[in-house]
Structure 1
Amino acid sequence: MKKLVALAIGAGLALSACGSASAQPPAATPSSPTPSPVQTATPAQFASILSENQKVWRDYNTNIVECGIARVLGKSTADQIKVMTCGMTVVTVTLTAKNAIRDIVALPKPSPEVKKLVDRAITDLTPLSTIDAAVACKDASSEACDEKETLANGQIRDVVSMLDAWAPYMR
């Protein structure tokens, strides 16, 4: 039995000696953490927001003259319906501009490729988004609604031009 104990102790010492002789020093840990890459939104993410709303904005721009004629010269029932439609459309245009800005700024920062276009989108949509057409156009035939339409008419051209600049990124 003494032989077995001596063999076990000897084997344990031999193994521990081998282990410490071949032991490697621990790998050096970096002194500062590696910074994680800054997350950026893709051009397609921004373009998607604008693309979703561009039909409303382009249609509004296309119908400016018809809306103005119906409001100023219109006497028929069809003209009155056109005035009502234009009043509802100006509300839609201003609200979609506001929502588009909200959605754009909620994304991570833009890549350098589209940063200027994103900045331009926000700049061009902001004046349109601040027009409170929802209140003024509760009565679409009112002078207050006409004033809001006139303001939107002046702003929509910049928005359409901005959309044209985004064309390479839109589906």
Structure 2
Amino acid sequence: VFVDPLTVVDMEFIASALFPAIDKNIVKKMVAFNNHIDHEVTVEKKWGQKGGPWEFNLRDLFRWCQLMLVDQSPGYYDPSQHVFLVYGERMRTREDKEKIGYSVLSRSSYVPHPSRRPLSLLHQSFQYLEPIMKCVQMSWMVILVGPASVGKTSLVQLLAHLTGHNLKIMAMNSAMDTTELLGGFEQ
């Protein structure tokens, strides 16, 4: 099945229809931004090539609008608040992230047992904790990318500890069917 790509008018119409609370002028600017990023990264290939290929589409606009509705007051929508989460966090290099923070998670009543190894809340952890927190809040899958021993697991353990949630860890290897696991996460 072949479907023509969505036009700017299509994207504006769909986003405005699904998110009528957000002013159409704001939606128009969001669509323009999305298309500008898509053109620079996927067509002109000016930046953002590490970790790609990327696709910036209607799903990104939907997530961006959802975040605004969850975190902001009606009539005071500010798309800049979550632009980095939707677009910047997927980039792999600091330089690419710079081309493109405000999260809150509620605590549960669960009191985690002290860790066998102490976890430290470091200043540089905040820039990584915020997007993870927002993805958890929105029930979106989090994919942490980086070399071995940089603290990806510790970051997740720290977030679970800080928010009072029981974290279950499952060791994975190449023999596991990760496609089934990852597909089930979205369900």
| Same fold at TM > 0.5 | no
Give TM-score, length-normalised by structure 2: 0.20
Higher helix share: 1
Name the TM-score, length of structure 1 as normaliser: 0.22
The structure with more radius of gyration: 1
